[in-house]
Amino acid sequence: MPQLTRSPVSPRLRLFVQTMWASAPDAGVATPRSMREHVLPTGATHLVFRLSGPPLRIFDGMEDRLGHAIGQALVGGARASHYLRDVSTPSASVGALLRPGAALLLLGAPEHELAGRHTLLDDLWRAQAAFAHERLLAAASLSDQLDVFEQLLLDRLGESTHSLDPAVAQAMLPLRHGTLPVRALAERAGCSHRHFIDLFRRATGLAPKTYARVQRLDRVLALAVDPRQTWSQIALAAGYSDQAHLSREFGALTGLSPQAWRIAAPSAPRHVPR
């Protein structure tokens, strides 16, 4: 599937959007590799427009044969668990991975209200969601779609400035790398443990420890794409106490064992055919 990925061209939008992408089905490819896909958590909020094919359909589990359709323009809230989606019909899409604290300004709702579920963009943008969808459909190429998408996001942003709480901002890097416990981060920020957790959840959609777990999974996936790396080596490099610890965490976050993930050989680490 052709895909174009880039950071926003506008330096201002880069404060709010980490990555944007546009993709289209391969011409002449009729049968997908799998009918379903395990989507693994990123710990971030996503905004997605499906430009062809049916609405997003997700399943409650492997035994669910029908699933339920959600929509074409969606916000995927931050989560620490996988979901199972229908990929039987290839579709074109345009989307963005948002930075912490961006959802309120770009979407109209804070991360903690969107976390762990899919929300129809119509419920957040109202009539502007349909207008945005039409403009993206009219774009002639993947590059044009990203140009249009970026301008739509800049229009939503208006004159707003980033408002990520400093206590949360300074905790991001230590949590990504597991260098400081949450209580120490709260003390460094000069607030109570409870208040710090509340600030962090409002900005990211996840509690600090949960956010750190998903970030460590990111390190695991980055290492595991190299088949020469053993799981015990990956566990040590990613900061787990041992391979068993990695396996428990991997299963809790992804619904898969590490070896099942590797056998599936996903072309993208967080999109596993089932």
pLDDT in tens, 201-224: 999 999 999 999 999 999 999 999
Do 94 and 35 sit in the same domain of this protein? yes
Task: Name the DSSP letter for residue 41.
Answer: P
Could you read off the pLDDT of 150-180 as tens digits, one per residue? Answer: 999 999 998 887 778 889 999 998 998 887 8
Number of domains, the chain: 2
Do 114 and 179 sit in the same domain of this protein? no
Do 150 and 177 sit in the same domain of this protein? no
Task: Give the contacts of 46 (CB within 8 A, at least 6 positions apart).
Answer: 75, 76, 95, 96, 97, 98
Which CATH number covers residue 247? 1.10.10.60
pLDDT number for residue 178: 82
What is the percentage of the chain residues whose pLDDT exceeds 70?
A: 97
Cβ–Cβ < 8 Å for 118, 74: yes
Predicted confidence band of residue 29 (pLDDT cuts 50, 70, 90): low
Do 196 and 264 sit in the same domain of this protein? yes
Do 25 and 137 sit in the same domain of this protein? yes
Cβ–Cβ < 8 Å for 114, 45: yes
Predicted confidence band of residue 87 (pLDDT cuts 50, 70, 90): very high
Query: Can you give the pTM of this predicted structure?
Result: 0.92
Q: Is 170 a domain residue?
A: yes
Which domain does 91 fall in, by range?
A: 3-157
Do 33 and 87 sit in the same domain of this protein? yes
Do 132 and 191 sit in the same domain of this protein? no
Predicted confidence band of residue 31 (pLDDT cuts 50, 70, 90): low
Pick from 258, 259, 255: which is nearest to 37 by CA? 255
Do 184 and 265 sit in the same domain of this protein? yes
Last residue of a domain, one of 157, 181, 215: 157
Q: Is 274 a domain residue?
A: no
Ramachandran sector of residue 52 (left: φ over 0; alpha: ψ -120 to 50; beta: rest):
beta
Pick from 137, 155, 154: which is nearest to 145 by CA? 137
Do 215 and 144 sit in the same domain of this protein? no
Last residue of a domain, one of 114, 132, 157: 157
Please say if the pLDDT value at position 192 is more than 90: yes
Do 87 and 220 sit in the same domain of this protein? no
Last residue of a domain, one of 127, 157, 187: 157
pLDDT number for residue 30: 54
Do 172 and 128 sit in the same domain of this protein? no
Do 144 and 179 sit in the same domain of this protein? no
